Amino acid sequence: MNFKAAYGKNEVNYKNVIPLFGWGDWRKVPNKYSRIFGNPNRAQDTSHAVEINGLTFIKGDVYLEGWVKGKGLLVVEGNVYVGGDVMTLPDDAGGKSSVGIIALRDKSYDTSVENPTTGRIVYKPHHDSDWSRFGITHPFINLSPRMEGCFYAQGGMELESDSSMKKLINMEVIGNIVTDYFDRRKMPNDVKVKYYNWQEVLSQSKYDYSVDKETRYSEKYDVSVAKEILTWREVEATL
């Protein structure tokens, strides 16, 4: 997959990936009176949402962006490249969606201890000249991506961009994120995580049980990352 900015500049390529593109086509957005002179965009067409129900396993790299819905897990043995917002819609039954994305390392060739090459969730933003009717109104990469769901990145989370604005990228995760490999230098400028009570979400309650607690990696880890780990202890998981 590849995306270009207006006038064919700033092309971003995603090579050898399975595309899971949940945005729609702005041309299919109903042309209401207020939109005759408006600027409909891809996000207003929800008919192409990626459905994740049950357990889906993909061996290889995946490109993910746009609307998602369902109650299930997407397990990827490879890298998950995120091109922009990942937003949830209600499932087909009208209940709240509960989606998990798991990125696992491919141990058949990725055996590095210091620098994993698979099992990563990589935010790789792009321009999109066909985002809306007036493509030139979307000239910049998404500097404030929002990811809804629960994410596990065995190989870590990274930012990949050649943009001069990459230091301004701040990510918001609505759900949770867990990683086995943490390199703060490769991550977005700021990552904010907002936790939800997913047991209540699964029960399809009409109430909002969001926990009013936000953690910024920039605040939590700036000091601790600088300290050396002198010792640790491994224990067996118990139920």
* pLDDT for residue 91: 87
* Spans of all domains in the chain: 2-226
* pLDDT for residue 239: 46
Give percent of the chain with pLDDT exceeding 70.
72
- For 29-38, the pLDDT digits (tens) are 887 655 566 7
* pLDDT for residue 209: 45
* pLDDT for residue 132: 81
- For 167-211, the pLDDT digits (tens) are 888 899 998 899 999 888 888 888 888 876 656 655 654 545 444
* pLDDT for residue 82: 95
* pLDDT for residue 191: 87
Scanning the structure block, which residue is given the tokens 């493509």? 135
- For 5-15, the pLDDT digits (tens) are 555 566 788 88
The CA-CA-CA angle for residues 167, 172, 174, to 5°, reads: 165
Question: What token pair was written down for 227?
Answer: 């300290």
Helix runs in the chain, H state only: 198-202, 217-221
**Residues of the chain scoring pLDDT < 70:** 1-2, 4-10, 32-37, 135-140, 196-239
Q: How many residues does the chain have?
A: 239
Residues 105, 154 contacting (CB under 8 angstroms)? yes
* pLDDT for residue 135: 67
Torsion of CA 106, 122, 117, 215, to 10 degrees: -90
Q: Which of 116, 108, 138, 109 is nearest to 125 (CA)?
A: 138
